[in-house]
Amino acid sequence: MPTSADSASAATTPRPAAILLDALGTLVALEPPAPRLRAELARRFGLEVTEEQAARAIMAEIAYYRAHLDDGRDEAALAALRRRCAEVLRSALPGDCARLEPEPLLEALLASLRFSAFPDVRPALESARERGQRLV
């Protein structure tokens, strides 16, 4: 049972001005992209790769992106980073994929990325907003 000391402590605890949130792993999860990439390569370019090959290529792209994500500081820099990511993806894919142009491959890559919110995200964000907290 809460005591008057608990109530007094809660009343004097400063409330943060904002709650800073990152997305991936906190708010959303990346759904497995390899099956979607595989389907996009087949649909857009008529190229067949195994799920394992697609997964290896996605892993190479993600590793490159993580190492360079700070490069995407504005719209132009982000576009350049995405093109480089597409080139990394292309170099990690087998055979005929080497002939693909970066821009169409980038479109296939982006189409293969899907995110889903964790089940507790909406209630947690709504609760913070109801308390008047700013979410950044």
The arithmetic mean of pLDDT across residues 21-50, rounded, is 93
pLDDT of residue 21: 79
Question: By percentage, how much of the chain surpasses pLDDT 70?
Answer: 92
| Residue-level pLDDT at 17 | 75
Per-domain residue ranges for the chain?
20-135
Q: Tell me what pLDDT residue 3 has.
A: 62
- Give the residue ranges of DSSP H helices in 19-113: 33-45, 51-68, 75-92, 102-112
The 10s digit of each residue's pLDDT in 11-20 is 677 877 777 7
Residues 33 and 55: their CA atoms lie apart, in Å, by: 8
HSE-up of 29 (CA within 13 Å, CB side)? 6
Q: What confidence tier does 9 reach under pLDDT thresholds 50, 70, 90?
A: low
**pLDDT tens sequence across 78-115:** 999 999 999 999 999 999 999 999 999 999 999 999 99
Give the residue-averaged pLDDT of 66-70: 95
Q: Smallest Cα–Cα separation from 106: which of 52, 61, 66? A: 61
Which of 57, 49, 64 lies closest to 90, judged by CA?
Answer: 57
The pLDDT of residue 84: 97
pLDDT at residue 33 greater than cutoff 80: yes
